[in-house]
A and B are shown apart, each in its own frame.
Chain A
Amino acid sequence: MSSLFQRHCDRDLVGYLDGELSERSRLKVERHLDSCGQCRAELEELQNSLAECARYRDVLVAQAPQAPQPWRDLYRDFSRIDESLANTSLLVRLMRPLVHSGVPRWAFVAGLAALIVLFSLNQLRQAPSVQAAALLRKAVAVSQSQPRPAHRIRVRSSRQPEFTRLAGAQAALVEVAQAQAVAALFQEAHWDWNDPLSAHAFEQWRDAQVHKTDEVAAVQDPQAPSEHFTRIRTVSAEGEVEAASITLETGDYVPVSERLEFRDREWVELSEIAEPSMESAGTSGVAPVDVPARAAEPPSRPAAFSPGSSASISDELQVLSALSAIEADLGDPVDVSLIGGKVVVTGEEGIPPRRQNEIRASVANLPHVEVEFSPSHPAAVPSQTAVAAGAAGSATVSPMEARLEQHLGGHAEFDRFSTQLLDLDDAAMQRVYALRRLAQKFSPDDEAQLGSPDLNLLRELSRKHTAKLSEKVGSMERILVPTLSSLGGTVSIHPASGHAAWQPAAEDVYRSAHRVDVLISQMLGVTPANASSSALPSDLMAALEELRVNLDDCRKALR
């Protein structure tokens, strides 16, 4: 048996087992199998492997985490899609036979005129409902791509005294009496009471109404008359709620207020309370809710080396170092802060249990440490800024993407290129965030209070991050620079900053790395680009150069 033939058969065997060969190739393999014991044995091996894979899949199926929410009923969305396609398809449907049937020219023109009238009438009749549906759809897409943390709303109603409450994705609440009465109203009306002032809740209710009319209007902001909001008002012929209106910010579709009018003349108004009032409940009439204290970076920390049983920044540093040793400072949603004389390590429950145990174990022997895993909360999800517009967007290929594909020699190459690049970028950004976190936690003043072993430990940690980051940046440059040059990118020189302290240098590293991150996403079509694609290669090369220079500065300052 020639080795060449052997290889050929080998290659076809998997396809043969999968029934993917052409008739001719199949017969060829069968004939060969008749006479070749080695290939028959090989076939059996492959069969075993495939069977094992099938069992492996069964295990995966049994073990994969369940979908976190009940699956949505798509029929409602279907109707909405039908509605928004209705206008265009009506015109297209009516035009088609006219264009193709060879009717006289005058008849065609007259017909077209009649159609335009018909179409406009149809537009007039449908416009508000289509517009309302489209606006809500956008508002929901925005709220899903940028989930809001629990937030506070004010509730006024015709029968109950005014109160405020927390609302949001996972705001588990203990309701006060007046809230219970309003909650009952909402439940009866099938209106989501957990996050009532949201495009999603409004849309859910609106979709369920069979006979409804919509109005869409621009309204002035009473506080700032130059600002405009968009208000959707829907009147329904049936159900508990007779009419409901939602007011959205015009630019970003964030809901600011809502009014529900019930059939028995009762009404409820919900309004957003301006952002900074995320303070714990206090006198607001709602039991405090455990909003995870992730964002509570270290405003209050006791002086270093405070004697006795209270934690110091030295203890905090030990904890950070222990977490870093198991790389829990890279990507795991884990936070460390000095609160009430303890070093508190907080993580989200979403962290796999095995990882949670590792994290607990890593700091188990350190003094004054508390570890807690809280329910995950949506604010921690994307740290991207440029997500919104393309969130539910189409799978179209950007011009830059197309050029890259052409340059790299096909879609498969592009796919490999982008996977590799995104992985590197991910890894680099994790280091950048870890480094920045250290720089923010330990200012030059804090450093002055550290003893020399602690100082060494801190510098060691930071140096580890900069060294790894430098490797990643090097790999990115190797992949990117040749490609960018051939796409017309040019090199630019970036001056060194000459920071004496490493902390401001780390901040510069963060800024330039973030820019690289954004540009890479734009180049790969992950986020929509706002600049023209022709400038992108040079911009990205400049950003990479800047990152390299800033990183070198930071490493010098850390020596």
Chain B
Amino acid sequence: MAIFRQPQSGQELQDQVAQLYIETREDVYRYLLTLGVHPPKAQEAVQEVFLRLYTSLKKGEKIESLRGWVFRVAHNYGLKVRARQSVEEKFDPAFETHLASPAVSAERDLLDREKMTRLNSAVESLSEQQKRVLFLRMEGLRYPQIASTLGISASAVGEFLRRALLRLRKVRDE
């Protein structure tokens, strides 16, 4: 993502945030689902996050990486939303059912499907923090951005990621 340039006009700022919203909203939405937030709440949260982004920029706040900022705010917001879901179950995207659906079997061979199912259960077995680091890495965030999202150091990000990958490999080879 390009380094953010302070836009010249109000219209330019609106366009820039709207553009980022279009490019990023699905990724942020999906990340919130992986945190266990239910789809309608997740979607609401995404929209709210981009409005906050606009407000912050409009107030003249300097933000280095917009994508990083969006994920960080979404992460914190998502945890709060999830905590309010207390009585409900955490949202479970029911990965295996989807994988086993006929639409997917047409595209993927059996072996691949099995592999993905195993990988999914391996991901499920990661610690909460390892999982978050991995998902944010898969969303293309750089280590410093992941670090500020999760409130840990950049070297800890590398370490969590390394442990996550080792664990995935171990489960895969079992």
Residues of A whose CB lies within 8 Å of any CB of B are 10-15, 18, 20, 45-46, 49-50, 52-57, 59-65, 67-69, 71-72, 74-75, 77-78, 81-82, 85, 89, 144, 330-333, 350, 352-355, 381-384, 387, 392, 395, 410-412, 414-416, 418-419, 422, 425-426, 429-430, 433, 517, 521, 524, 526-527
Nearest CB in chain B to that of A81: its residue: B55
- Could you tell me the distance in whole angstroms from the C-beta of A453 to the nearest C-beta in chain B? 31
A331 vs B89: C-alpha distance when bound (angstroms): 5
Whether a CB of chain A sits under 8 angstroms from the CB of B71 is no
Contacts of A64 in B (CB 8 A): 29-30, 33, 93
- Could you tell me the distance in whole angstroms from the C-beta of A29 to the nearest C-beta in chain B? 12
Contacts of A392 in B (CB 8 A): 48
A82 vs B88: C-alpha distance when bound (angstroms): 37
Contacts of A20 in B (CB 8 A): 142-143, 154, 158
Contacts of B150 in A (CB 8 A): 412, 415
Q: Are A526 and B33 in contact (CB under 8 A)?
A: no
Chain B residues bordering chain A, tally (CB within 8 A): 74
Q: A68-B39, A383-B87, A517-B86 are in contact. Are A395 and B73 (CB under 8 A)?
A: yes
- Could you tell me the distance in whole angstroms from the C-beta of B159 to the nearest C-beta in chain A? 7
Whether a CB of chain A sits under 8 angstroms from the CB of B123 is yes
State which of B83, B88, B137 has its C-beta within 8 Å of the C-beta of A331: B88
Q: Are A63 and B104 in contact (CB under 8 A)?
A: yes
Whether a CB of chain A sits under 8 angstroms from the CB of B62 is no
10 shortest interchain CB distances as A-B pairs = A411-B151, A331-B89, A352-B94, A63-B98, A57-B138, A526-B83, A354-B97, A412-B152, A67-B43, A15-B158
Whether a CB of chain A sits under 8 angstroms from the CB of B65 is no
Contacts of A56 in B (CB 8 A): 116, 119-120, 123, 138
Residues of B whose CB lies within 8 Å of any CB of A are 10, 14, 17-18, 21, 25-26, 29-30, 33, 38-44, 46-48, 50-51, 54-55, 58-59, 73, 76-77, 79-80, 82-90, 92-99, 104, 115-116, 119-120, 123, 128-129, 134, 137-138, 142-143, 150-152, 154, 156, 158-159, 161-162, 165, 168-169, 172
Nearest CB in chain A to that of B116: its residue: A59
Q: Are B138 and A54 in contact (CB under 8 A)?
A: yes
Contacts of A414 in B (CB 8 A): 151
Contacts of B151 in A (CB 8 A): 410-412, 414-415
Q: A59-B99, A67-B43, A74-B50 are in contact. Are A384 and B86 (CB under 8 A)?
A: yes
Contacts of A62 in B (CB 8 A): 104
- Could you tell me the distance in whole angstroms from the C-beta of B52 to the nearest C-beta in chain A? 8
Contacts of B128 in A (CB 8 A): 419
Q: Are B86 and A426 in contact (CB under 8 A)?
A: yes
Q: A53-B134, A67-B29, A419-B128 are in contact. Are A14 and B104 (CB under 8 A)?
A: no
Nearest CB in chain B to that of A49: its residue: B165
A535 vs B160: C-alpha distance when bound (angstroms): 37
A415 vs B149: C-alpha distance when bound (angstroms): 11
Q: Are A46 and B165 in contact (CB under 8 A)?
A: yes
- Could you tell me the distance in whole angstroms from the C-beta of A7 to the nearest C-beta in chain B? 11
Contacts of A69 in B (CB 8 A): 40, 43
Q: A78-B14, A333-B88 are in contact. Are A63 and B93 (CB under 8 A)?
A: yes
12 further A-B pairs in the complex, CB-CB below 8 A; given A14-B165, A71-B25:
A11-B159, A12-B158, A14-B158, A15-B158, A49-B168, A59-B116, A63-B95, A354-B96, A355-B94, A381-B41, A395-B77, A415-B129
Contacts of A410 in B (CB 8 A): 151
Contacts of B96 in A (CB 8 A): 354
- Could you tell me the distance in whole angstroms from the C-beta of B139 to the nearest C-beta in chain A? 8
Nearest CB in chain A to that of B162: its residue: A14
A416 vs B98: C-alpha distance when bound (angstroms): 31
A382 vs B151: C-alpha distance when bound (angstroms): 28
Contacts of A61 in B (CB 8 A): 26, 30
Nearest CB in chain B to that of A382: its residue: B84
- Could you tell me the distance in whole angstroms from the C-beta of B12 to the nearest C-beta in chain A? 12
